Every structure is written in C-alpha cells, then in structure tokens.
Amino acid sequence: MRNNICVFCGASEGQNPAYVASACEMGQLIASQGRRLIYGGGKKGLMGVVADAVLAAGGEVIGIIPERLVEAETAHHGLSQLEIVPDMHTRKARMAELADAFIALPGGIGTLEELFEIWTWGQIGYHSKPVALLDVAGFYQPLSQFLTHVADQGFMRHDYLATLHVSASAEQLLQQFDHYQPTPYDRWAK
C-alpha cells in the first residue's frame, strides 16, 4: 500500500464549491484508509481544507513549508509534524522524498509547477512513483486535452502520458496507486 500521499492543491478555494468538497473527501479518505498526508504546510485555500479533513478524521499530516511562506500561507501549527525549511526547492525535494504517490487537486500555477516537476522527474528516471490528477468538475479536462496535443505533436510519448492517472474519483485514484507497477521507462527509446 502507498501510505504517504502527497497532495498538491490551491492556496485558494476556487470558484466552484465542488473543489472544497473534494479536498474534504480526499482528506477523509486518506485518514480512513490509514494513510498519511504530505503537503505544503499552509492553512490557506484547499491546502488547509485537505489538512483539516485528515486531522478531523484522526489521521496524520506532515507539512513542509519554506520560511518565507510561514506567514504568507499561514503555516498550520496544528499538524502532526510541521517542517520549516529554508526554501522552495527544499520543500519540494522533501515532499518528494517522503511521498509514495502524488495527487494534484485543483489549484493555480503553484500546483501546476509542483505537478509538472514531479511528473517530469519520473520521465527522466529520478523516481518511479505514481502521479495523478483529481479531475473535480472537469477542472483538468483542458489540461488533459493540451497534454494529448503535446503527445500528438511528438513532444512526449503517449505511453508516458498514459502514466498520469486522471479520475474524478479520489477513491479510485488511491486504489490505482496500490496496484501501480512502475515500468522501467526510457525517455529516449523510439
């Protein structure tokens, strides 16, 4: 079982109430399945919602926040563990180290940056952990279409695109993580 689930998500709540509801559901599922949440350590937006949902359901949360964002993102001091790190690079490296799998919920460019970094690290063999998008209310459809375009145009292999799990169901994504078999991937093979 992949126990440590890293969630990337918005430091805002977004327009559609479905985003908050899905962050809540994700948190409850992580806790009820005995997994641990790894995330950016803030209280704002969907980040705070998912962390609070895990804690309210009796689960464990590790937050990693850079010094500079302790105030701006309102570091969550009620977590099982809060790590304050020197910078953004250390934050992402630490989340990558602790996590067994990664899920992006709806979010802004910070979320997208984190998602793409971890997914591209897989493409060049830095890790072989699963990466997924929780497609709440179709939020990730335009991005999925664009990524298909990228692959169609010959800038990414379709088999690597297929490694990005996309589902509207948090339960299904967590289940898929447990069955995920990393296949050795050669970015440069034809």
Nearest in space to 31 (alpha carbons), one of 8, 59, 50: 59
Taking contact as CB under 6 A, which single stretch among the options 79-87, 102-110, 148-156, 167-175 is the one that binds ligand AMP? Answer: 102-110
Q: How far is CA 13 from the centre of its chain?
A: 16
Taking contact as CB under 6 A, which single stretch among the options 6-14, 30-38, 97-105, 128-136 is the one that binds ligand AMP? Answer: 6-14
Binding of residue 106 to ligand AMP (CB under 6 A): no
How far is the C-alpha of 18 from the C-alpha of 16, rounded, in Å? 5
How far is the C-alpha of 45 from the C-alpha of 48, rounded, in Å? 6
Binding of residue 10 to ligand AMP (CB under 6 A): yes
Extract the tokens encoding 139.
Answer: 């939020």
Which one among 2, 3, 12, 144 touches ligand AMP, defined by CB under 6 A? 12
Q: How far is CA 184 from the centre of its chain?
A: 22
How far is the C-alpha of 13 from the C-alpha of 40, rounded, in Å? 15
Total chain residues near ligand AMP (CB under 6 A) = 17
Binding of residue 84 to ligand AMP (CB under 6 A): no
Nearer to ligand AMP, 55 or 69 (CB): 69
Binding of residue 92 to ligand AMP (CB under 6 A): yes
Report 34-63 residues binding ligand AMP (CB under 6 A): 40, 42, 47
Measured CA angle at 25 (ends 22, 28), to 5 deg: 155
Nearer to ligand AMP, 108 or 125 (CB): 108
Single-letter code of the amino acid located at 110: G
Which one among 27, 107, 122, 130 touches ligand AMP, defined by CB under 6 A? 107
